[in-house]
Amino acid sequence: MAKTMEAPAAAEGKKGKKGLIITLLIAIIAIGAGAGGAWYFMKMSGDEEAEPAKPKPKPTKFVDLDIFTVNLQPEENNQYLQVGLTIKARETEVIQEITKQMPDIRNRILMLLSSKKAVEIAGIQGKQLLSQQIVDEIRQSLGSEELQDDIREVLFTSFVIQ
């Protein structure tokens, strides 16, 4: 009879050990999951803080220039160019500076346009090159490099060679 009493006690001891092991495993998994989740969320919030906030792009403003009419360099016969221009710039203090420097800007553009031949500016590539040259002339009229960088491009609103 002593053997039969020891068997249930031994069975209860094994059940207790299994329950304790299962409880410990569940606790370890829960702690690991909690630590992993905390690490993930801390890393995600840390990445946002580590990257510098990108400044919002400044809005674009368009500044219309009066129509330019110039005599082109003579080829076979006298030709003239009539062109409408719009400056595309970031909306910063460059807009006020363009207004202040308008006589100088117009002079530079007129000199540039009158130095061209019709053949040079008739094609797409010629117009693109002319547009870039006009941007360069406008940038030279502005004082600081920061303001010069705010000039995006020059757009043709009309373009007539006759």
Q: What is the pLDDT of residues 63-95, one digit of tens each?
A: 999 899 999 998 888 899 999 999 999 988 999
Domain boundary among 32, 54, 76: 54
Mean pLDDT (whole number) for 127-134:
95
Same domain, 136 and 76: yes
Give the chain's domain count.
2
Q: What is the pLDDT of residues 85-125, one digit of tens each?
A: 999 999 889 999 999 999 999 999 999 999 999 999 999 99
Q: What is the pLDDT of residues 13-28, one digit of tens each?
A: 566 788 888 888 888 8
Same domain, 86 and 13: no
The residue segments making up the domain with residue 70 are: 60-161
- The verdict on pTM exceeding 0.75 is no
CB 93 within 8 A of CB 101: no
Residue 64: what pLDDT? 94
Task: State the CB neighbour count (10 A cutoff) for residue 6.
Answer: 10
CATH classification of the domain holding 89: 3.30.479.30
